[in-house]
Chain A
Amino acid sequence: MDAEEIAEKLNSEIRRGALVLGVLGQLRNEHYGYSLRKALGDHGLAVEEGTLYPLVRRLEKQGLLTSEWREEDKRRKRFYRLSENGEMVYRQLMSDWDRLNESIARITG
């Protein structure tokens, strides 16, 4: 395994955790699947469809998201947003993330 492959593997590990945080953060405002993916991509966190939808579904099953079907532009869409529990988990994760970020910045700075 060369350096590039190792970096790619490690990067995907970092992204996996960060993606959950990104999705929770983005869903503080209501989104349907496609708009969520676009919003994440616009903020530099591009994610494949095959990764995002199973993740959203898992978060909903864990009770961190709520969803409802609504009609918009003459089409039924499923809208997601953070649940009360999701808000708490998100705040906790963000505080951990900030601490981690500061530590890494101090170590590598």
Chain B
Amino acid sequence: MELVQSYLNEVSRFLAEEQRKDVLPDLRDAIEEEVFAVSEEAGREPTEDDERAVLAGFGHPLKVANRYQPQRSLIGPELYPAYRQTLRVVLSTVLAGFLVVALVLAHVQDWTIGPWSLFWTGIEIVLWVAFIVTLVFVATEYSGERFNWYENWRPEMISPGTLGVIDRSDVLTNLVSEGVFLLWWNDVLVFQDFFPAFDVSLQLSPAWDAYGLPLNALFGLSFLLHVYVLVTGVWRRQALVAEVALFVAVIAVGVVLLFAGDLVLVEGEFLNEHGVANVQRVVKVTILVIAGFTAWDIWISVKMLLGRPI
């Protein structure tokens, strides 16, 4: 029975310490019983071939150990959809909270952050949130508790007026670009030392001075709106109308800026007049491209509002 003992040792590797004492004697009895029964049927003493045949029937030690476990998955299929939804809601809320805190810190303490630090801070927040939410759901799964909002759902809980589901990647793109813009616009995110030195300095011209508060309001409201729709996962009529109104206002500001003369102050030892004009042109083309994407988003929203398939 040396082979059987080795098999039990293998199974033991995949069992928790407290389970070993309980499971292994039981499994040994089962294997021995099978081996004796097989040899008895053949009318001889048990052989190693009998042991091998029986062990093959039991299967891989990990598989057997797994079948003796009371719980096989950290978060089971019943709870998994609720886990995904909760993760999405908490992540969106925490990232939105981070943006608000960063903006407040920038105004109160002149706090700034570089692009890479911002990226890694974002990753760190996402990982922590995912870890904590996962931990809560694992504990819920093991305790057998269930969420009232999920298990006892009733049709009365449906909010009326939804026009369609959101395109998650589209909303996320908007959310990230609005968040990055707000951080940059409020001097939280600084690109100093991020790009290689070209001996060229770019600064916003006084043409932007009048737009400090309006752009904060427009992008701040858009950001909050997109957090809200990302959490709910659906477009409601009021949200779509608000998005169209905000995007129209963004395009209007962009168009006004296009006619506001030079938008950046360029200084550089090696730039001639022609080079400076080209830089101004690139800035205006960039605004036009952003306006184009925004107009496309407006078109999609209007189509949904009119009830046409997208």
* Residues in A lying within 8 Å of B, measured CB to CB: 32-35, 37, 48-51, 53-55, 57, 73, 75, 77-78
Contact = CB atoms under 8 A, between A and B. Distances in A.
A52 to B, nearest CB: 8
Main secondary structure of the interface of B (DSSP, over half): helix
Nearest to B61: A50
Contacts of A49: 30-31, 34, 54, 57-59
B59 A34 contact: no
B27 interface: yes
B57 A48 contact: yes
A77 B33 contact: yes
Nearest to A78: B29
Contact of B36 (A37, A53, A55, A75): A75
Contact of A34 (B27, B37, B64, B68): B37
Interface of A is mostly: helix
A51 B58 CA distance: 7
Contacts of B58: 48-50, 53
Interface in B45-95: 54, 57-59, 63-64, 67-68
Interface in B21-36: 23, 26-27, 29-31, 33-34, 36
Given A34-B37, A75-B36, A53 B30 contact: yes
A45 B63 CA distance: 20
Contacts of A77: 33
Given A34-B34, A34-B37, A50 B29 contact: no
Contacts of A50: 57-59, 63-64, 67
Contacts of A33: 29-30, 33-34
CB-based closest 6 A-B pairs: A54-B67, A34-B37, A50-B59, A50-B58, A53-B30, A49-B57
A73 B36 CA distance: 11
A68 to B, nearest CB: 13
A32 B33 CA distance: 9
Nearest to B30: A53
Given A32-B33, A34-B33, A53 B57 contact: no
Given A33-B30, A78-B29, A51 B67 contact: yes
Given A33-B29, A50-B64, A57-B68, 14 more contacts: A32-B33, A33-B30, A33-B34, A34-B33, A34-B34, A48-B58, A48-B59, A49-B31, A49-B57, A50-B57, A53-B26, A53-B27, A55-B67, A78-B29
A17 B68 CA distance: 17
B77 to A, nearest CB: 12
Nearest to B40: A73
Contacts of B59: 48-50
Contacts of B36: 75
A29 to B, nearest CB: 18
A14 B57 CA distance: 21
Nearest to B32: A75
Contacts of A54: 64, 67-68
Contacts of B27: 53
A57 B36 CA distance: 20
A32 B32 CA distance: 12
Contacts of A53: 26-27, 30, 58
A47 to B, nearest CB: 10
A65 to B, nearest CB: 13
Nearest to B58: A50
